[in-house]
Amino acid sequence: MELIGTPDHVAERMGEVMEEVGGDGFMLTTPVLRMNRRWIAEVTDGLVPALQRRGLTRSAYTPGNTLRQNLAEF
């Protein structure tokens, strides 16, 4: 599945896919370009906030939780 477009478009499509097939996340990669700092920044600065606005990923963690607890919580 290709996720191409604006952060809002990609977040919308990711939400649709999760509703259709279920699951607990996505593995993101880039088939042609190597992952670099710019690509990671675009995901974290653009896509993550779009996902948070839709309630598809958390915007805060429970203080004091371990990594395992945080991963199991969502």
For the chain, give every domain's residue range: 7-73
Cα torsion at 36, 39, 45, 46 (round to 10°)? -170
| Predicted local confidence at residue 10, as pLDDT | 94
pLDDT-above-70 percentage for the chain: 97
Whole-number mean pLDDT of the chain?
Answer: 88
pLDDT at 28: 83
pLDDT (0 to 100) of residue 24: 81
Task: For residue 46, give the amino acid letter.
Answer: G
* Residue of 9 and 71 predicted with greater confidence: 9
Longest CA–CA span in the chain (Å) reads 40
20 pLDDT band (50/70/90 cuts)?
A: very high
